[in-house]
Amino acid sequence: MSDRYPEPRANAALVVFDFDHTLYDGDSGSHLFAWLIRRNPLRVLAALLATPLLGPMVAWLPTRRHGISGYVWIGTFGLRRAREFDAWIDRYVRGHEAGIRARLLPQALEVFARHRRDGDRVVVATGAPPELARAILAFVAHQDVPVIGTEVGPRLGAMMALRHCHSEEKMRMLRERGYGGIDVAYSGSSADLPLLKAAKSPVVVNPKAKNVAMFRRALPEGTPILNWGCKDRGGS
């Protein structure tokens, strides 16, 4: 446990944060895999050739996992073990510390820390690999927070997303780890609508502007729709 925060209270509220576009300005997984692809011109060429197929798959919710897995495969071809992949994540985070720190959203981190100071049970549930979120949270002394993320493992000579922590699957992964009865949830992703609907007190954070009306229709009246510093996102 961090010396800065108390152990969660026995009757503590369960608070779930998404990571990308909630605590972090951008898509952390995409930034990681773009870096992995750029390491080699052949990977760049392979990604460009595959984008007419993979791009639309990523954009469409039912096939998003398969599209992302394609880019992950291109970026990690040659890696045979999950620990090798985690080592590359740590190398990426160390080498890009200044840029990553600049993407962490101060207002979001203050809310995150406030829940921890209050003794709430805080968990991060993200579509990014969990090692990536943990390594980034370590910059701001939150490395001890539980992180549930996309499970990545070896397949076909590379790393691929074996289980995407996304939409309804994110809810299943939370429940499997004992995180039922969500009190507060923070996210601005349309894919996290199941998470927001499950929470007693949903908070929409940094949504795409085009999705604001959808969130207003789908969630209880008065649900906060906030912008915590993502300039290209909606919310007040």
| The pLDDT of residue 3 | 55
Tokens read off for 134: 């943990």
SS3 92: helix
Domains and CATH numbers, the chain: 14-226 (3.40.50.1000)
| The pLDDT of residue 203 | 98
| The pLDDT of residue 178 | 94
Q: What whole-number distance in Å separates Cα of residue 158 and Cα of residue 135?
A: 22
Angle at 233 between CA 230 and CA 236, to 5 degrees: 85
Angle at 221 between CA 109 and CA 214, to 5 degrees: 80
H helix or E strand, kind and range, residue 148: strand 147-148
| The pLDDT of residue 2 | 47
Tokens read off for 86: 């985690």
CB–CB of 212/228 below 8 Å? Answer: no
- Mean pLDDT (10-residue bins), the chain, 236 residues: 75 97 96 94 94 90 80 90 93 97 98 96 97 97 95 88 91 96 97 97 98 98 97 94
